[in-house]
């Protein structure tokens, strides 16, 4: 229970109380000793600390540390999705620890709003604070956790539902031109080998960086196909090997390599640094996927459903988002439509 204490060198009251971790701490107040109204306010403050101590004495099984990590790890999701959730939870956990919330019962709507403000200021070891969309994503993960807490009886409601925080429109990743592809290839000659291998695989197959760590055992030269096993959404798929990537695959097989690309993780920072050094504004590794999708969309020989299958997009809507078609791509449409002229004598060539 919290109590008021004095310090010989200070004219103000101090509150001695337990932290959320059970450690004793003395917190200074702005209330002076010997003044009746100040002493009364100091006692009220001590009572508030006592209430917090009582709230933090939730059942051990309710505390985040007792169940959240195991629950996240045990969800039937792809390893990449689980890793994303765990990363988001780490940021949320730091905030909850900072504000002394050790269990889900005391999470409120105000907690979510406070987290938004804190996260956009907290750099978390990075040069820049988190974006609004990142903070929303992390609150979404907290919402999943709170939903499970309600089912377990650890909370009465889920305040993370229907927060209605509008997302910022994400910046479109550009398509790579032939000149940019050549520039990147030249620059990759002085970078680690895995980067060049990943880029070639992605620019030919449109795969994500996390999908570039393909085991060589998943490359079938007899059937001339490559199998992508670790994918977003845990949806493996197999496609024919693009002829442009065949020399790389054969070289890897000859040297006994274990993977097509020894991608060390899912961190695209090395590519971000490289593209920035080359002055490629807005370009990211994911631009390789945009490039493949856009070029397939321009080809009349490739049906949309086959293009979607080639890059393993989950829906036609998602697939269309990746297309970067401009006005030049539309010039042939007038001849294809075959709309009859109005027959009013106007010469269309004169327009």
**Structure confidence by residue, pLDDT tens digits, 181-228:** 999 999 999 999 999 999 999 999 888 888 888 999 999 999 998 998
Question: Is 261:218 a contact under the CB 8 Å cutoff?
Answer: no
Mean pLDDT computed over 111-116: 92
β-strand partners of 215? 259
Burial of 82 (0-12, 13-18, 19+ CB in 10 A): middle
The string over 236-248, giving b where at least 16 C-beta atoms fall within 10 Å of a residue's C-beta and e elsewhere, is eeebebbeebeeb
**46 pLDDT above the threshold of 50:** yes
- Banded pLDDT at 88 (limits 50, 70, 90): very high
CA gap 183, 162 in Å, rounded: 46
**C-alpha to C-alpha distance for 154 and 63, rounded to whole angstroms:** 9
Residue 205: how many other CB atoms lie within 10 Å: 24
Band (pLDDT 50/70/90 cuts) for residue 150 is: very high
pLDDT at position 323, please? 45
Query: In this structure, what DSSP letter does residue 351 have?
Result: -
Within 8 A by CB and 6+ apart from 171, the residues are 282
Contact, 47 vs 76, CB < 8 A? no
Structural contact between residues 307 and 292, judged by C-beta atoms closer than 8 angstroms? no
* CATH superfamily assigned to domain 178-326: Intergrase catalytic core (1.10.443.10)
For residue 278, the 8-state DSSP code is: T
Domain ranges of the chain: 3-57, 62-152, 178-326
State pTM to two decimals. Answer: 0.57
DSSP H helices in the chain: 36-56, 64-73, 79-99, 109-119, 132-152, 178-188, 193-205, 246-255, 269-277, 287-298, 304-311, 316-321, 333-337
- What torsion, rounded to 10 degrees, do the Cα atoms 41, 43, 44, 46 define? 130
Look up residue 77 and give its DSSP letter.
S
Q: What is the pLDDT of residue 303?
A: 78
Instruction: Please check whether residue 180 is in contact with residue 239, taking contact to mean a CB–CB distance below 8 angstroms.
Output: no
Q: Sheet of 3-5: strands edge to edge?
A: 3-5, 12-18, 24-32
285: three-class secondary structure by DSSP: coil
Q: How far apart are the first and last CA of the chain?
A: 88
What tens digit of pLDDT does each residue of 310-346 get? 877 654 544 444 444 444 544 443 344 343 445 544 4
């Amino acid at each position: 229970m919290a109590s008021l204490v004095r310090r010989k060198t200070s004219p103000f009251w101090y509150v001695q109380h337990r932290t959320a971790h059970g450690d004793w701490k003395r917190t200074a107040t702005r209330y002076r000793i010997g003044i009746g109204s100040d002493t009364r306010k100091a006692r009220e403050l001590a009572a508030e600390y006592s209430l917090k101590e009582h709230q933090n004495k939730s059942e051990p099984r309710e505390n985040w540390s007792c169940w959240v990590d195991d629950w996240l790890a045990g969800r039937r999701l792809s390893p990449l999705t689980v890793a994303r959730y765990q990363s988001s939870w780490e940021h949320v956990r730091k905030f909850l620890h900072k504000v002394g919330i050790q269990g889900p019962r005391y999470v409120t709507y105000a907690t979510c709003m406070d987290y938004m403000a804190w996260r956009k200021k907290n750099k978390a070891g990075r040069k820049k604070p988190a974006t609004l969309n990142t903070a929303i994503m992390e609150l979404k993960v907290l919402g999943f956790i709170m939903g499970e807490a309600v089912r377990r009886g650890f909370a009465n409601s889920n305040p993370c539902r229907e927060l209605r925080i509008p997302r910022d429109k994400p910046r479109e990743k550009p398509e790579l031109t032939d000149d940019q592809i050549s520039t990147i290839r030249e620059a990759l000659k002085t970078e680690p080998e895995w980067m060049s291998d990943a880029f070639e695989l992605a620019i030919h197959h449109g795969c994500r960086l996390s999908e570039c760590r393909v085991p060589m055992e998943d490359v079938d030269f007899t059937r001339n196909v490559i199998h992508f096993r670790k994918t977003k959404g845990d949806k493996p798929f197999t496609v024919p090997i693009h002829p442009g990537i065949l020399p790389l695959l054969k070289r890897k097989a000859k040297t006994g390599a274990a993977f097509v690309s020894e991608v060390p993780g899912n961190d695209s920072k090395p590519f971000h640094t490289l593209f920035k050094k080359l002055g490629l504004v807005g370009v990211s590794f994911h631009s390789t996927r945009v490039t493949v999708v856009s070029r397939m969309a321009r080809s009349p020989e490739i049906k949309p459903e086959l293009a979607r299958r080639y890059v393993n997009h989950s829906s036609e809507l998602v697939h269309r988002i990746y297309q970067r078609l401009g006005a030049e791509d539309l010039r042939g449409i007038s001849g294809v439509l075959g709309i009859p002229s109005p027959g009013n004598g106007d010469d269309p060539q004169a327009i």
